[in-house]
Amino acid sequence: MPTPVIETLGLSKVYQGSVGGVPVLSHVDLTIEYGEVVALRGPSGSGKSTLLNILGCLDRPSRGRYVLGGSDVSGLTREEQAWVRLHYIGFVFQSFHLLAHATALENVTLPLHYAGVPRGRADETARDLLARVGLSHRGSHFPAQLSGGERQRVAIARALTARPPLLLADEPTGALDTKTGAEIMRLLLDLHKERGTSIILVTHDPVVADYADRQIFLRDGKVVDTEEAQVGARA
Ligand SMILES: Nc1ncnc2c1ncn2[C@@H]1O[C@H](COP(=O)(O)OP(=O)(O)O)[C@@H](O)[C@H]1O
Ligand SMILES: [Mg+2]
């Protein structure tokens, strides 16, 4: 058996609130193979973003193990997490999270600077990526001068600078109209085919989820089977 890109074992997350611990994820066991496209679904508040943030090494589990590409990353320090993110993980958010005072090209170049890539090569890589997402002509524009779909294209280009094996996307089409959302999904799937990138995509939208190879449903912080979750969503 090849090593999966992601394996979690008994992953749990408890937030410490004023009234004691609030359990948000309970015993999540997941295996995701390299090259899979997985849609993560579930009602609002079911823990989708919390799980994605842990998988993206933006947060840490309270209990359980998270093994990324064969290495246990459950207990990394913040510095170690940052290093893993820089080299292994691309992240795309619903609200794009671009730097407002940086141009499209600068936004894409930034992670390459952090990774110590020399300026000339970073600029070249960023220009190639902007061209790949159809934005060659927008490199010197600031986010406020771009449409929502264009901003998400910039964010996707930025997420792919390190050629990460894993791309995590938290409702990437959630702020876009249906047609633009479909274009962004096509772009993500084309990039997945070209690069073999594994994608985990949080979405409420069953149409968007249909693009995935497989769907995982969360309810009250637990992974549930499809049918049970759909009954829950309808109720
Ligand atoms: N930093 C936090 N502190 C305390 N509770 C949180 C925090 N982040 C999320 N939660 C709670 O955890 C639950 C799951 O949130 P979230 O993962 O954002 O769900 P989803 O993305 O599925 O809507 C919610 O009840 C939310 O209020
Ligand atoms: Mg969320």
pLDDT tens sequence across 20-35: 788 899 999 999 999 9
Residue type, 212: A
Which CATH number is 181's domain given? 3.40.50.300
What pLDDT does residue 17 have?
A: 79
What pLDDT does residue 230 have?
A: 54
Give the CA distances from residue 225 to residues 61, 205, 219, 221, in Å, rounded to whole numbers and listed in that order: 22, 17, 10, 13
- Look at ligand 1, atom 4, and give the residue with the nearest C-alpha: 15
What pLDDT does residue 186 have?
A: 94
In which domain, by residue range, is 172 found?
6-98+164-234
Give one word for 9, left, alpha or beta, with left for phi > 0 and alpha for psi -120 to 50.
beta
Distance 44 CA to ligand 2 centre (A): 7
What pLDDT does residue 1 have?
A: 74
What pLDDT does residue 216 have?
A: 96
Query: Distance between CA atoms of 117 and 124, rounded to whole angstroms?
Result: 11
Residue 171 lies in a domain: yes
* Residue of 24, 217, 223 with the most ligand 1 atoms within 8 Å of its CB, for mutation: 24
Residue 122 lies in a domain: no
Distance 44 CA to ligand 1 centre (A): 9
Which two structure tokens, joined as six digits, stand for 154?
Answer: 């910039």
Contact 218, 26 (CB under 8 A): no
Instruction: Specify the pTM.
Output: 0.93
Closest CA to 165 of 133, 198, 205, 139: 198
The count of structural domains within the chain is 1
Residue 143 lies in a domain: no
Average pLDDT for runs of 10 along the chain of length 235: 93 87 93 96 95 96 96 95 95 96 97 94 96 96 98 96 95 94 94 95 91 95 75 48
Residue 142 lies in a domain: no
Contact 160, 191 (CB under 8 A): yes
Residue 33 lies in a domain: yes
Residue 54 lies in a domain: yes
Query: Distance between CA atoms of 90 and 162, rounded to whole angstroms?
Result: 8
What pLDDT does residue 228 have?
A: 55
Is 50's C-beta closer than 6 angstroms to any atom of ligand 1? yes
Distance 47 CA to ligand 2 centre (A): 7
Residue 133 lies in a domain: no
Query: Distance between CA atoms of 203 and 177, rounded to whole angstroms?
Result: 14
What pLDDT does residue 235 have?
A: 43
What pLDDT does residue 7 have?
A: 97
What pLDDT does residue 205 have?
A: 87
What pLDDT does residue 21 have?
A: 85
Q: What are the beta bridge partners of residue 168?
A: 91, 200
